[in-house]
Structure 1
Amino acid sequence: MSKQLTFLSAVMLMACLMAATPPTGKPGKRLPRLTATDRSPTRPIPKPAAPKKPFIDRQNMNLTVKPGDDFYQYANGEWLKKNPVPASKTSWGSGSILYEKSLDAMKSLLEEAAKSSGKGRLHQMVGDFYASGMDSIAIEQKGFDPIKADLARVEQVKTKAELMNEIAYQRSQGSTMFFSLYVTQDSRIVSKYIVRFVQGGTTLPDRDYYLKNDARSQKIRDAYRDNLAKMFGLIGEESSRAATNADAVLKLELALANAQMTRVDSRDPIKTYNKLTVADFSKQTPGINWREWMPKLGIPEQDTVLVQSLPFYHAVDSLLTATPVEALKAYMQWNLLKNAAPFLSTPFVNQNFAFNKVLSGQKQLTPLWQRRSNLIDGSLGELLGQLYVQKYFKPEAKQRMLVLIDNLEASFKDHINAVDWMTADTKKRALTKLASFKRKIGYPDKWKNYEGVTIRRDDFYANVRATSKWWYTDNISRLGKPVDKTEWLMTPQTVNAYYMPVNNEIAFPAAILQFPFFDAEADDAINYGGIGTVIGHEMTHGFDDQGRQYDADGTLRDWWTKEDAANFTKRADKVKEQFAGFRVLDSLKVNGQLTLGENLADLGGLAIAFDAFKKTNQGQGETKIDRFTPDQRFFLSWAQVWRANVLTESQAQRLLTDPHAPDQFRCNGPLTNFDAWYKAFNVQPAEKMYKAPGQRIKVW
């Protein structure tokens, strides 16, 4: 499948995944599309003659550290000392501060909408949803009543056939069990939608938590089993049955985890593209007749489907056949319970958080208003996004971004033409792909209206259920329709950016167009070192180890010569090796293969943005601002984007699950390969980050 490739960590910044399992967010509002008429790489960006703000604040820097020893600490050391992770967070840095700002904006909009829900459907939907979620008294009174009927439905199951019907029913209501499916573009025929079956069925963040026997993994498994038993106890199960159910769930999830592909293998678009006829898929899973079962999932008759991993579905088939019905029922009830727990009464919320504390290290529960704002952003994000854009997004920011993108594209074109390891024919195709990038800035051109969703002010869980069901139904309804390339995968209020291979598109939501990424009053060094590197990052995703396998139309096909592919791989392998050498926690290192795409994008984005910056008047000059040269300001801007403190438990989780390397290595790693950084800060061979010129890695 084609995945969105994001600039910032989804773990940290709520990047929205391309899935049909709400309440995972989608985007916001549309104003008329602006187009650039001048694509000159030297096109100026209007701005004041000098910045009015201290965009590089020396008080945030640790000037006792040599830039060449640890640039991350040099640029951010004092800020890191003064800004520990708040008790209700798992990390705290530039991105999370902007995320908090976005949440504050959402809260203001939601509170206003709740007071004026009679103003129209938009205000009624988001306002009443928020009001219902903030009505703690009503939520407490209901306890776990909202899921009792579903738990009872599962309890009444007696046979495997009934169980299969119940799985289908719950999936149609928005609850995923055993595996996941959604409708997506066929990456080999991008003009068509197709049903894609992917692995799933587990609760812990990664298969390694079930399979590894180190002390950290064992502690988490023990806490998870304890959490399972306590959660079953909260719905009235006696301790002995609660323990039996907990063991059954853990055993089943262990078997599913053992059959799952690794995250590294899941990044491979070829390995995960397995197209089968529905009849052949059924032969692969003798216990499941997909042609008969798919209509129960609401899926109209299909000839073919995509399957991420056939071995995983072999395991699902075997487990559904061999596992006793009572154990399968316990697993299904657990899935209903865990999905609902954050939205039920306090005992469920607190127990859910008690276990999450073990995983993440978070000390205090996130404030209720933030949890509800986040939920509505994921459930009705394009309604909330309309309000956000109207109040917080300035149209001139979109115009400015178009100029920046033009300049970055021109710089990337120069880089492609200049590389000495690619043949002329492949360069020509690469340039065609670059010129074909579709740009999405700020907000969508058209908005989802969530037609058919009813939001009630007096029933919070019904609202959660209604939006979850809508996302599933809306996703399935794509089948047989033309591909909608106007759709966004993030809401305007999301602090992130992405590249989508099958559409060959780059997208920058409104909320990321703020300092330290972007400021209308900033000098070019700040904006190119911030949002410029983000633009370059997303562009480079089109040519990283995954993105390069898609052509200019977004089709998954090989457009490289064998020689060029080998030359690329040789350079990418060096990036993989560099990052695999970074140690983070005791015995834990960065997974160089898992993070390869993001590391390539960081390296390319930095180089492309710097060269685009050097075409500006400031970049060609030597005028200092606050005692820093233009080039120094560019690199300091890059560094302050990455400053963040992360809890140890959360960092350990990210190392297993996040395709992005830890922030300090995203800052320092690319710089060690970049000649201009050495020159800007006079980095010498004796300094810790120094790499000899012949050892510096250059891909693009």
Structure 2
Amino acid sequence: MKRFLLLSAASLALAGSAVWAHSDEAPQAQSAPADAASLKPLRFGSWGVDLGARDISVRPGDDFDRYANGSWFRRTEIPADQASAGVDYDVYNLTQRQLSALVISAPASGQVGGLYQSFMDEARIEALGAKPLMADIAQVEAIRDKAEMARFMGRSQGAFGASIVGGEPYADTADPTVNVLWLGQGGIGLPDREYYLSDDFKTQRDAYRAYIVRTMKLIGNAAPERAADAIMAFETEIARASWAIADRRDLGKINNPMSSAELAAYAPGLDWDAWFAGAGIAAQKRIIVNEKSALRDIAAVYARTPLGTIKLWQMFHVANNAAPYLPKAFVDNRFEFAKAMSGVSEQRPRWKRGLTLVDGSLGELVGETYARQYFPPSAKAKMEALVANLKLAMGDRIRGNSWMAPATKEAALAKLEKMDVMVGHPDKWRDYRGLKIDPADLYGNVQRSAAFEYAYALSELNQPVDRKKWSMNPQEVNAYNGGLENKIVFPAAILQAPYFSESVDDAVNYGAIGAVIGHEITHGFDDQGRKIDANGAVRDWWTKEDAARFETQARRFGAQYATYEAAPGAFINPDLTMGENIADLAGLEVAYDAYHRSLGGKEAPVIDGLTGDQRFFLAFAQAWRDKARDDAIRQQVASDEHSPARWRIIGPLRNVDGWYKAFGVTADAKYYLKPEDRTRIW
């Protein structure tokens, strides 16, 4: 359940190495505020809703986002170093302050303190200049043929650099108890193929080319303009061959098993033996090839492109991925592009970028301390009780469903029963002792960390799936459904107010974190989750009649979203966002049912003139309040499966009968839907 863009748009578009950035000539001057008050949990009012954020001059049915958050919108300015402002950033920034208290005080002799110290040592970084990078650039310059380049691309899986394909182990679609290699398209630096092909993104495309020119100058290229044109032409061809993002989320389309030999025969434009050798992967009997035709066509683009062009492309991406760990000239150059992409006008403070590096490199090592300090056992117990109640409510919805055949309902209930729940943090923590951290070697630290992470992932290839493994750190403000692992995961950091608190009104917890829990549960039954059975295997366990009725409702629901203009000229793509939109609606409905179940048949008390149902829906809307820059919204609409926050409020609510009753929404309201026009999937 992705909440927001933590970093700049360019960070997301150009991330190649798995980690980020930090220096300590004068850490006292740049340290995060770590006084006791700044580390306290956030709180809305005395019982969990920010009554002062509302604009009660707006009718709830005309714009519930404005009704719940309008006064907050008027008084809120987006910080210069953020793409948006809202609850997500509030909780994220609190978590950053909490982490800073742990990381900044860590001794430089340890891994956490040593990594942070290496990033904060700006004087040393400036003194070294581009020397660490140029050693890697020299490796690219020395490449003599495309087989060598294929090996280099394979090695870039755990290093600076780029590849036209990429992969990692994940559960097999046929046997979800074992990990096999999943392989997908790569090769572009902008967020999605449309950034190369659509006139809507000409400004961002021009900014990207200008960034390439500046980067090639920094690494000493004698003809940076010509190099940029060649790189852009190469990536544009790759973009044309690439699949659209809506197709890339379709399990039926991306599930294409092949052996290494079959892949080499199908996509002969790339020396696959060389690529796999560079990646440290032996010949495989079974690979899940995702964008099948794209891999073939991108390999053909590679085959017909001159080696000199591909070397320029590789040099640029090595420099781009390394830029956050290089002198100020590289960092500022990269940020110029970020500004053009997202509208952010100021870089995040260096201490925050340093925390991001530590978080990305030593996530569970930091997370173990974080969870112990900020997530008490009592919170875990309360959250687990909430999840259990949500699962019961989902079960009721499945049993009461009017469009599912009895056998399909039985299979759905079996999947729900087997769905594992993970709350707060892993039961078993990762061992980082094999990762060498040197407080005087930032560049080397990042390289070694990337290689360490890649080796950790690769160690699971053809091994049993560890269903207790976490894909998020405890300090991440997010949650997810494990897909083929049939599990839902809620890190400690999202289990803070105003999403969740042990001391607020139950209606608030159910409206805020309850809707998140419901969202993740129902991902197991959305347009893609319905293709995965209780054991995690990819198979169609619905009848044709069930599927037809589901798809009819899904199309009607999608038609609503197609009318939502998220930013001027940028309308939501219902094919791309369908799964998340369904999970938003069903999650809200399941949370609403679970809230009423928790009342045990009693009437909820009225608090500050608000009924329990009104408090529930207000908490839901305030948990999603967000004010974002238009450029960031446009990027999200083009490349993200999640609808922008405003439509994650309005879109589901107007389909929920209880919301109409709670606020007396009548037929003359802007977002009124007739009962027969409301989507009823779960």
- TM-score scaled by length of structure 2: 0.93
Question: Equivalent residues in 2 for 1:91-106 (5 A)?
Answer: 91-106=84-99
Q: Is the partner of 2:514 in helix, strand or coil?
A: helix
The CA distance in 2 between the partners of 1:622 and 1:383, in whole Å, is 43
1:578 aligned partner: 560
Query: Aligned match of 2:209 in 220, 225, 238?
Result: 225
2:535 aligned partner: 553
Aligned AA for 1:474?
Y
Question: Equivalent residues in 2 for 1:561-576 (5 A)?
Answer: 561-576=543-558
Aligned AA for 1:147?
L
1:72 aligned partner: 65
Give the count of matched residue pairs. 656
The CA distance in 1 between the partners of 2:90 and 2:7, in whole Å, is 11
Aligned AA for 1:109?
L
- Cα distance, 1:297 vs structure 2: 1.8
Query: Aligned match of 2:379 in 394, 397, 404?
Result: 397
CA contact (8 A) 2:161 2:315 kept: no
**Is 1:371 equivalent to 2:357 in the alignment?**
no
CA contact (8 A) 2:169 2:182 kept: yes
Aligned AA for 2:348?
T
The CA distance in 1 between the partners of 2:593 and 2:299, in whole Å, is 54
Question: Equivalent residues in 2 for 1:132-147 (5 A)?
Answer: 132-147=118-133
Query: Aligned match of 1:428 in 388, 402, 410?
Result: 410
Aligned AA for 1:525?
A
Q: Is the partner of 1:478 in helix, strand or coil?
A: coil
Q: Is the partner of 1:195 in helix, strand or coil?
A: strand
1:195 aligned partner: 181
CA contact (8 A) 1:528 1:609 kept: yes
Aligned AA for 1:625?
I
**Is 1:615 equivalent to 2:597 in the alignment?**
yes
Aligned AA for 2:204?
I
**Is 1:343 equivalent to 2:343 in the alignment?**
no
Query: Aligned match of 1:542 in 517, 521, 524?
Result: 524
- Cα distance, 1:314 vs structure 2: 2.0
Q: Deviations over 1:189-214 (max 9, x none)?
A: 11111112111110011110100123
The CA distance in 2 between the partners of 1:291 and 1:160, in whole Å, is 12
**Is 1:23 equivalent to 2:18 in the alignment?**
yes
2:237 aligned partner: 255
1:297 aligned partner: 279
- Cα distance, 1:683 vs structure 2: 0.9
CA contact (8 A) 1:443 1:492 kept: yes
1:661 aligned partner: 643
Q: Is the partner of 1:132 in helix, strand or coil?
A: helix
The CA distance in 2 between the partners of 1:158 and 1:318, in whole Å, is 19
The CA distance in 2 between the partners of 1:509 and 1:261, in whole Å, is 32
CA contact (8 A) 1:177 1:335 kept: no
1:634 aligned partner: 616
C-alpha spacing 1:660/1:697, structure 2 compared with 1 (3 Å): same
1:129 aligned partner: 115
Aligned AA for 2:614?
Q
**Is 1:598 equivalent to 2:591 in the alignment?**
no
1:270 aligned partner: 252
Q: Deviations over 1:386-431 (max 9, x none)?
A: 1111211111111001111111111111111111111111101111
2:488 aligned partner: 506
C-alpha spacing 1:63/1:648, structure 2 compared with 1 (3 Å): same
CA contact (8 A) 1:84 1:92 kept: yes
Which deviates more, 153-162 or 498-507? Answer: 153-162
2:55 aligned partner: 62
Aligned AA for 2:111?
M
Which deviates more, 659-668 or 445-454? Answer: 445-454
C-alpha spacing 1:484/1:698, structure 2 compared with 1 (3 Å): same
Q: Deviations over 1:213-270 (max 9, x none)?
A: 23xx1111111111111111111223xx111111111011001111111110001011
1:149 aligned partner: 135
- Cα distance, 1:52 vs structure 2: 8.0
The CA distance in 1 between the partners of 2:265 and 2:645, in whole Å, is 46
C-alpha spacing 1:171/1:622, structure 2 compared with 1 (3 Å): closer
List alignment gaps of at least 5 residues for structure 1.
1-5, 26-50, 119-123
- TM-score scaled by length of structure 1: 0.91
Aligned AA for 1:648?
D
Aligned AA for 1:232?
M
The CA distance in 2 between the partners of 1:619 and 1:117, in whole Å, is 57
1:234 aligned partner: 218
Aligned AA for 2:495?
L
Which deviates more, 161-170 or 376-385? Answer: 161-170
Q: Is the partner of 1:288 in helix, strand or coil?
A: coil
Query: Aligned match of 1:108 in 101, 107, 110?
Result: 101
CA contact (8 A) 1:525 1:619 kept: no
- Cα distance, 1:623 vs structure 2: 2.0
Tell me which of the two structures has the higher relative contact order, counting C-alpha pairs closer than 8 angstroms and 6 or more residues apart.
1
Which deviates more, 192-201 or 424-433? Answer: 192-201
CA contact (8 A) 2:162 2:314 kept: no
C-alpha spacing 1:423/1:12, structure 2 compared with 1 (3 Å): farther
The CA distance in 2 between the partners of 1:169 and 1:234, in whole Å, is 24
The CA distance in 2 between the partners of 1:659 and 1:172, in whole Å, is 27
CA contact (8 A) 2:158 2:450 kept: no
Question: Equivalent residues in 2 for 1:375-454 (5 A)?
Answer: 375-454=357-436
CA contact (8 A) 2:364 2:429 kept: yes
The CA distance in 2 between the partners of 1:317 and 1:265, in whole Å, is 19
1:42 aligned partner: none
CA contact (8 A) 2:147 2:271 kept: no
The CA distance in 2 between the partners of 1:223 and 1:419, in whole Å, is 50
The CA distance in 2 between the partners of 1:562 and 1:24, in whole Å, is 45
Aligned AA for 1:182?
E
CA contact (8 A) 2:171 2:485 kept: no
Q: Is the partner of 1:167 in helix, strand or coil?
A: helix
The CA distance in 2 between the partners of 1:619 and 1:65, in whole Å, is 32
List alignment gaps of at least 5 residues for structure 2.
21-43
C-alpha spacing 1:302/1:681, structure 2 compared with 1 (3 Å): same
2:299 aligned partner: 317
Query: Aligned match of 1:8 in 3, 11, 18?
Result: 3
> Identity, % of aligned pairs?
38
- Cα distance, 1:171 vs structure 2: 3.5
- Cα distance, 1:145 vs structure 2: 1.3
CA contact (8 A) 2:116 2:354 kept: yes
1:44 aligned partner: none
1:3 aligned partner: none
**Is 1:182 equivalent to 2:168 in the alignment?**
yes
